[in-house]
Amino acid sequence: MHPFSLTAKLATAAFLGALTLSPLPAVASEPILPSPLTQPGPTAEPSVPAAEAKTDGGEAGTADTAPTADPVPAAEPTPAPSASSSEAVTPKAVTPAPATADAVPPKDGAASVASPSAADALRGRGNAHMGQGLERISATGNAQVAAPLLSQQSSTDQFGGLAATWRPAGIQGMDVSSHQGYVDWATARAQGSVFAYVKATEGTGYVNPFYSDQYGGAAAAGMIRGAYHFAIPTTGSSGAEQATYFVRNGGGWSADGRTLPPLLDIEYNPYPSLGNSCYNMSAAQMVAWLRDFSSTVRTLTGRVPMIYTTTDWWATCTGNSGAFADHPLHIAAYGQTSAGLLPNGWSSYAVWQYSSTGPFVGDSNVWRGTAAELSAFAVNSQVQSVAGVAGPLVTAAAKQTPDIGNPTSSLVCGISEGGCYQNYQYGQVHWTKATGAHATQGAVNSAWGKSGWEKGTLGYPVTDLTCGLKNSGCVQSFQKGNIYWTPLTGAALTLGAIDGTWSSLGRENSKLGYPTANEACGLVDGGCYQNFQGGQIHWSAASGASATWGAFGRAWGQTGWEKGSLGYPTDNEVCGLVNGGCYQNFQGGKMHRSSATGAYITSGTISAAWGASGWEQGRLGYPTSNAICGLVNGGCLQTFQKGNIYTSPASGTAITAGAIDSTWSALSREKGKLGYPTTNEVCGLTNGGCYQNFQGGQIHWSPTTGANPTYGTIGAAWRATGWETGTLGYPTSGEICALTNGGCYQNFQKGQIHWSPTTGAYATRGVINSAWGKTRWEAGTLGYPTSNQACGLVNGGCYQNFQGGQIHWSPTTGAHPTSGAIGAAWRATGWEKGTLGYPTTNETCSTTTKTCTQKFQKGQLTWTPTRGVTRS
């Protein structure tokens, strides 16, 4: 077995490094329809591999004559070695192939080169040994051209430049054939060889003449040993025939703990007369021959044989078949510090033949595991190969899914997590120890493939495809998510937090229905989203995954989705509110809807103010618009069923509702004299009244007076009276202007307040107010009040100053104005404290006599144009 050219052999020096015995990747790449496996190649000469190795000991003068195909007459099967015997059991009825005793090399314990006479005697049958092809390719470039005679022990270097004394870490072993003759087994054991394989047979016409001595000598030295057969796979010699010949002539096995399983040496054809390197067999014929040999060995011994080969020969002559991954692998690879790329189907080897030039006689090998595992391997208690476990399960999974069609590739193992897969006409079956074997097919399989197969976001399938869902849907679950499919939506993946949210909503039976696309990421703040029939699910690290649909979904979309003022949703829609309402929270606010109002957003201070009022259960009800900004002084407004919320940088945020809101509206709201509200409405005033502060004043309401504003100097004057608890009570009108001299007034329950630019604002009330009214208010002789009413006069009297006079009142006289010359004359007497007392009538004048008269408690004052004021 030597499939390397000299050039390739030398190239391996570039790969020298630290030795590793860990599993290597499988030959095949990820599954891609159609089958990613290489199709069986032609039966012409194989290409020279880059780093394969030779196997058995150095050849002692080889020949190109094929062994005879005549089978040895049937004999009793060779009994398996006895577990109780310390000596090797010599195969029964073995006839040495060489015709003369001259073919036997001297028993010197190190003969790896036969003498020319021995080589001549061996020529014609039994001339091949493990690794012969590798040696020939290395030396001549052709596995069917004999190599020059080499002394194994004289070689100072292995192929690729490694020292002949180099050995990889691990349990060491060796293999020999007739080329080594009598072997000094004790020395080999002392050098560290723990196990050995001995060539027993070749084809159906050759038995190693040194087999008994070599097999028994290895056992006597304390080695675990086994037998190998050099295969001559031709159409004229079946695998079953050669397997039977092998087992009957030394290839038996016993679970005695000292016997290795039978070994099949399958490599390059060393005999040109038998065809090309693949014996002129097609890949399919070669695979069938190997299966025939293996099945027969298993029937006769109870164990499948270990297969010795090279990666290049296997790819060339079996079409890179993965059908034997349940067999232990004995891989040949020289001149490199690891076993390299393994044949298809195997994720690891059992034995690696790493040299034919030392450190041991024959070929040098290393067991991949521990000594305990080697002992277990000998008694057939080794862990079954991955392919051996996966194969039957993959086949069973395919049978349970007949729509997947027939296999289009062999089993491929060694993919992620130690998994295996096999391609079929309409899908694949994947297996891992953790997930089991499950088929994927059709659109679901294609969607999984686009996601990266088992290396992608979903990992391996953990269930089979399940159909019969709503609207003829199907689902298949994977390690990290699911794939859903319907005729209408096609196939889409759901995974992670988005899948979890969809699941909590009831999956395809929810308002969202089926996914219509895969998850898409790269949104603001690293977010992702996925579209569904009835809406979307959005996710970000800060917000988690939440769904939007219906009116909320549309309204959120109009804001700019996650890029808008609301950001991402932080929970799903919640319903069951007053009047059949629903709400949903977002990073930047909330959204509420009802059957009567539609869906609207609240955020920031407006949302906080609404929440403080009791949300939809409060006095405002549901929002009827989104926030409207761009008002005076940077203000914003949001309308609700029963009122509004206004906000501005200067005024803050406040609610307006009911009669107060209506009154404010009549005053042009924020554009009017009152400006923005600075507080919410406050109730609990006298007589069940309420008020609300604004930037420019107040609005007060009571059940009897309604809502009226007060502001400016009239408002200040009213405040000075004690607001609604003072002498005037509540306002009963708004401020009314356009009076004489640009004046204004406002009515209250118990009087008025009048204002003019020259007089300011003063209240009039009670009988004094009535008396002033009789003079025609500000348009009469008195003009505007210039002070408020003042009491505490003589006999409990009160008075109030006006522009044109005064009005005095006492309990006994009532209220009467005084003005002009009569008023001045009364003042000169000392007002109400003087000799006249309080006025008891208003001033009366006669147009005919041109006189005016006014009576007082203690007299009368009369005025004439000629005499002035006189007292009587």
Give all strands of the β-sheet with 544-549 in edge-to-edge order: 520-521, 528-532, 535-540, 544-549
pLDDT digits (tens, 9 = 90+) for 390-403: 888 999 999 999 99
Q: How confident is the model at residue 131 (pLDDT cuts 50, 70, 90)?
A: low
pLDDT digits (tens, 9 = 90+) for 768-781: 999 999 999 999 99
Alpha-carbon dihedral angle through residues 785, 786, 788, 790, given to the nearest 10 degrees: -110
Does residue 403 share a domain with residue 418? yes
Rounded to an integer, what distance in angstroms lies between the CA atom of residue 842 and that of residue 818? 7
CA distances to 51, 206, 335, 353 from 159, in Å: 10, 30, 4, 13
Print the domain residue range for 821.
711-871
Rounded to an integer, what distance in angstroms lies between the CA atom of residue 166 and that of residue 164? 6
CA quadruple 499, 500, 506, 510: dihedral positive or negative? Answer: negative
Amino acid at 413: C
Burial 665-702 (b: 16+ CB within 10 A, else e): eebebbebbbbbbbebbeeebeeebbbbbbbbbbbbbb
- In the predicted model, is pLDDT for residue 617 greater than 60? yes
Rounded to an integer, what distance in angstroms lies between the CA atom of residue 857 and that of residue 812? 10
- In the predicted model, is pLDDT for residue 78 greater than 60? no
SS3 (DSSP) at 439: strand
**Residues 202, 265, 363, 499: which is the catalytic one?**
265
Does residue 331 share a domain with residue 293? yes
Domain-located, residue 291: yes
- In the predicted model, is pLDDT for residue 527 greater than 60? yes
Length of the chain: 872
Phi and psi (nearest 5°) for 226?
-150, 170
Name which residue leads in pLDDT, 675 or 113: 675
CA distances to 436, 500, 569, 738 from 538, in Å: 33, 12, 7, 62
Radius of gyration for the alpha carbons in the chain, expressed in angstroms and rounded: 55
**Residues 267, 499, 616, 670: which is the catalytic one?**
267
**Quick one: average pLDDT of 67-81?**
32
Rounded to an integer, what distance in angstroms lies between the CA atom of residue 383 and that of residue 100? 46
Q: How confident is the model at residue 289 (pLDDT cuts 50, 70, 90)?
A: very high
Give the count of alpha carbons within 13 A of 721, CB side only: 30
The β-bridge partners of 437 are: 431
Does residue 731 share a domain with residue 754? yes
Instruction: State how many domains the chain has.
Output: 3
- In the predicted model, is pLDDT for residue 46 greater than 60? no
pLDDT digits (tens, 9 = 90+) for 421-464: 999 999 999 999 899 999 999 999 999 999 999 999 999 999 99
Does residue 361 share a domain with residue 445? no
Does residue 394 share a domain with residue 372? no
Domain-located, residue 87: no
So what's the pLDDT on residue 111? 29
**Residues 175, 202, 724, 778: which is the catalytic one?**
175
Tokens of 140: 């001549």
Does residue 249 share a domain with residue 117? yes
Q: What is the separation, in whole angstroms, between the first and last Cα of the chain? A: 159
Q: How confident is the model at residue 386 (pLDDT cuts 50, 70, 90)?
A: low
Place of tokens 């009469």: 780
Verify whether residue 265 is a known catalytic residue. yes
Does residue 360 share a domain with residue 342? yes
- In the predicted model, is pLDDT for residue 104 greater than 60? no
Give all strands of the β-sheet with 574-575 in edge-to-edge order: 574-575, 582-586, 589-594, 598-602
Does residue 286 share a domain with residue 180? yes
Strands 412-415 and 193-202: unpaired
Contacts of the segment 531-539: beta carbons below 8 A, 24+ positions apart: 532/502, 533/489, 534/510, 535/511, 537/498, 537/501, 537/502, 537/512, 538/562, 538/568, 538/569, 539/496, 539/497, 539/498, 539/501, 539/568
Inter-residue contact 7 to 48 (CB < 8 Å): yes
So what's the pLDDT on residue 149? 53
Least confident of 342-346, 488-492, 648-652: 342-346
Strands 859-864 and 851-856: antiparallel
Domain-located, residue 250: yes
Domain-located, residue 248: yes
Q: Could you write out the DSSP letters of every residue in 317-386? A: HSSS--TTTTS-EEEE--SSSS--SPPTT-SS-SEEEEESSSSSSSEEEEESS-HHHHHHHHTT-SPPPH
CATH of the domain at 168: 3.20.20.80
Phi and psi (nearest 5°) for 691?
-150, 165
Percent helix, strand, coil in the chain, to 5, is 25, 25, 45
So what's the pLDDT on residue 110? 31
Tokens of 115: 């003498």
Rounded to an integer, what distance in angstroms lies between the CA atom of residue 44 and that of residue 29? 25
Nearest of 497, 461, 465 to residue 479 by alpha carbon: 461
Give all strands of the β-sheet with 751-756 in edge-to-edge order: 744-748, 751-756, 760-765
So what's the pLDDT on residue 148? 63
Domain end point (choices 383, 405, 422)? 383
Inter-residue contact 167 to 364 (CB < 8 Å): yes
Alpha-carbon dihedral angle through residues 393, 398, 401, 403, given to the nearest 10 degrees: 170
Domain-located, residue 632: no
Name which residue leads in pLDDT, 124 or 688: 688
Inter-residue contact 515 to 488 (CB < 8 Å): no
- In the predicted model, is pLDDT for residue 44 greater than 90? no
- In the predicted model, is pLDDT for residue 831 greater than 90? yes
Does residue 403 share a domain with residue 348? no
- In the predicted model, is pLDDT for residue 62 greater than 70? no
Least confident of 125-139, 147-161, 229-243: 147-161
Task: Output the average pLDDT for the chain.
Answer: 84
Verify whether residue 571 is a known catalytic residue. no
Domain-located, residue 28: no
- In the predicted model, is pLDDT for residue 63 greater than 50? no
CA distances to 659, 736, 752 from 663, in Å: 6, 14, 19
The CA-based angle 278-280-283, given to 5 degrees, is 60
- Find how far residue 631's CA is from the centre of its chain: 44
Does residue 269 share a domain with residue 390? no
Other C-beta atoms closer than 10 Å to the C-beta of 304 total: 20
Inter-residue contact 853 to 862 (CB < 8 Å): yes
The β-bridge partners of 13 are: none
Rounded to an integer, what distance in angstroms lies between the CA atom of residue 208 and that of residue 723? 127
So what's the pLDDT on residue 703? 98
Domain end point (choices 346, 364, 383)? 383
Does residue 419 share a domain with residue 376? no
Q: Which helix (H) or strand (E) holds 225?
A: strand 224-230
SS3 (DSSP) at 88: coil
Longest Cα–Cα distance in the chain? 185
Rounded to an integer, what distance in angstroms lies between the CA atom of residue 525 and that of residue 789? 70
Rounded to an integer, what distance in angstroms lies between the CA atom of residue 191 and that of residue 185? 10
Cis? peptide before 23, omega within 30° of 0 = no
- Find how far residue 307's CA is from the centre of its chain: 44
Domain end point (choices 327, 352, 383)? 383
SS3 (DSSP) at 215: helix
Rounded to an integer, what distance in angstroms lies between the CA atom of residue 519 and that of residue 502? 12
Rounded to an integer, what distance in angstroms lies between the CA atom of residue 293 and that of residue 338? 29
Verify whether residue 525 is a known catalytic residue. no
Q: How confident is the model at residue 147 (pLDDT cuts 50, 70, 90)?
A: low
So what's the pLDDT on residue 83? 30
Rounded to an integer, what distance in angstroms lies between the CA atom of residue 192 and that of residue 256? 22
Inter-residue contact 602 to 621 (CB < 8 Å): no
- In the predicted model, is pLDDT for residue 153 greater than 50? no
Q: How confident is the model at residue 235 (pLDDT cuts 50, 70, 90)?
A: confident
SS3 (DSSP) at 750: coil
Residue 418 CB-density burial (10 A; 0-12 exposed, 13-18 middle, 19+ buried): middle
Rounded to an integer, what distance in angstroms lies between the CA atom of residue 729 and that of residue 752? 10
Rounded to an integer, what distance in angstroms lies between the CA atom of residue 50 and that of residue 134? 11
Does residue 232 share a domain with residue 150? yes
Rounded to an integer, what distance in angstroms lies between the CA atom of residue 777 and that of residue 793? 24
pLDDT digits (tens, 9 = 90+) for 744-753: 999 999 999 9
- In the predicted model, is pLDDT for residue 82 greater than 90? no
